[in-house]
Amino acid sequence: MSPTTILLVGLVALLVLIPTRRLQIAGWKREALTTYYLAVWLLGAVVAAMPSPARFLVPILIVAYLAPFVTLRDGIDRLLGRPRGGRGETGVGGPGAGPGVEPRPPMKDVTPPEPPER
């Protein structure tokens, strides 16, 4: 193998670590993370080493790479107009936010007083 191919395969390996870390933070098991990493790395390495199947593999590779950054729950919340973090993810929530979540403080009135009439 040429040094360029080795460099490209190494670069792909480093790039695949980014979404793999995102999945690890999301709580995926080690076996699933390993499978995901190897599958995406293999697809990327094939595209980097042999450009001929790239036309078919690049769309699959893009979806597999970007999928960990898209969460279904946040997408549904956006569609329904719910505020983000309303389920107690930030430690503060509205009514029905869940157990152990402190209620939000009431809104502060910052409207300036009306000038006195003369």
Question: In the chain, where are the structural domains located?
Answer: 3-81
pLDDT-derived band at 86 (thresholds 50, 70, 90) equals very low
Global pTM? 0.57
Residue 31, pLDDT > 50, answer: yes
Residue with tokens 């505020």: 83
State percent of the chain over pLDDT 70: 75
Q: Which residues contact 48 (CB under 8 A, 6 or more apart)?
A: 5, 8, 9, 11, 12
- In the prediction, which pLDDT does 17 show? 92
